[in-house]
């Protein structure tokens, strides 16, 4: 129970990687604010399930990560409810796949807002409390696409490269305050985000579903296996531990060897 006295926010945690991170933090004793979209009854089931399974407090914030004021309010409400925000995970993210000449400008704006600017707004709101308490952990879910590119993902790749730069910058600013700032860069993790981009990739590349899985997705990953959400969550827990207190400004790959190639 390494996080027993900690209070965490995990954005985009009604699904996929974020949900696994929220549950892993709760398993270590942290109170958690979950966030994201979805069916209200399903979200309440997840929230209540976390409280029941791990004997912690879990609250839900419906804040839209494309809206600065809602992000600021999410952090302030979490501080008021639990007394602090010790751990912030910027995880909410969406994808859109299209050649640049057809890429809708509003999709570009939405991806930059949700996948990049939301991390800025959340860090900006959470850092003062972390600095005052002399302890904090900020983790962003970046991507192998924070290091390398793939065609047809201009907004996503730009946003994830931005997360890597933002991580380094804020890490330097808070380096003497007991606050670490890192990002995790997974390769392909089997979640709804990956599943949902298959039809568009089929269209963009004129491929079958099996071809997209084997020749596009797993083709990039030398291990030929998807990363699991539990593996990403275990790394997030480690980054919150004392053993990781000298890791800051890092972009840590978990990509089956993708970016080694």
188 catalytic per annotation: no
**Exposure of 211 by Cβ count < 10 A (0-12 exposed, 13-18 middle, 19+ buried)?**
middle
Q: What residues does 129 pair with on adjacent strands?
A: none
Stretch of 29-37, 101-109, 129-137, 202-210 lying at the interface with ligand NAD (CB under 6 A): 29-37
CB of 162 to ligand NAD, least distance (A): 12
Q: Which of 253, 254, 240 is nearest to 89 (CA)?
A: 240
Is 61 a binding residue for ligand NAD by CB under 6 A? The answer is: no
Among positions 179-238, residues that touch ligand NAD (CB under 6 A) are 186, 188-189, 191-194
Provide the b/e sequence for 5-23 (b: ≥16 CB within 10 Å).
ebbbbbbbbbbbbbbbbbb
CB of 70 to ligand NAD, least distance (A): 8
Which one of the listed residues 108, 135, 152, 156 is annotated catalytic?
Answer: 156
Q: Which helix (H) or strand (E) segment is 203 a member of?
A: helix 192-205
Return all residues near 242 (Cβ < 8 A) that are at least 6 apart: none
**Exposure of 207 by Cβ count < 10 A (0-12 exposed, 13-18 middle, 19+ buried)?**
middle
Is 37 a binding residue for ligand NAD by CB under 6 A? The answer is: yes
Instruction: For the chain, state the CA radius of gyration.
Output: 18
Is 256 a binding residue for ligand NAD by CB under 6 A? The answer is: no
CB of 136 to ligand NAD, least distance (A): 20
Is 65 a binding residue for ligand NAD by CB under 6 A? The answer is: yes
CB of 229 to ligand NAD, least distance (A): 7
The contact set with ligand NAD (CB under 6 A) reads 12-18, 35-38, 64-66, 91-94, 114-115, 141, 143, 186, 188-189, 191-194
- What residues are labeled active site? 156
């Amino acid at each position: 129970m390494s996080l027993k006295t900690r209070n965490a926010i995990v954005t985009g945690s009604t699904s996929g990687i974020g949900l696994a991170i929220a549950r892993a933090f709760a398993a270590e004793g942290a109170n958690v604010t979950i966030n994201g979209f979805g069916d209200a009854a399903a979200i309440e089931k997840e929230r209540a399930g976390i409280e029941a399974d791990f004997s912690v407090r879990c609250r839900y914030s419906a804040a839209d990560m494309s809206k600065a004021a809602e992000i600021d309010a999410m952090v302030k409400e979490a501080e008021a409810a639990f007394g602090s925000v010790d751990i912030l995970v910027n995880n909410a993210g969406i994808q859109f796949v299209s050649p640049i000449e057809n890429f809708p400008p509003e999709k570009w704006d939405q991806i930059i807002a949700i996948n990049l600017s939301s991390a800025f707004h959340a860090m900006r709101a959470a850092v003062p409390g972390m600095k005052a308490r002399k302890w904090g952990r900020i983790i962003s879910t970046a991507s192998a696409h924070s290091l390398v590119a793939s065609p047809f993902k201009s907004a996503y790749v730009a946003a994830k490269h931005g997360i890597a730069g933002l991580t380094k910058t804020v890490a330097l600013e808070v380096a003497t305050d007991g606050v670490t700032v890192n990002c995790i860069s997974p390769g392909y993790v089997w979640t709804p985000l990956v599943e949902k981009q298959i039809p568009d990739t089929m269209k963009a590349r004129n491929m079958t579903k099996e071809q997209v899985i084997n020749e596009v997705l797993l083709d990039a990953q030398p291990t030929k296996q998807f990363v699991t959400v539990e593996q990403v969550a275990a790394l997030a827990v480690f980054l919150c531990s004392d053993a990781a207190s000298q890791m800051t400004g890092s972009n840590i790959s978990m990509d089956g060897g993708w970016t080694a190639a």
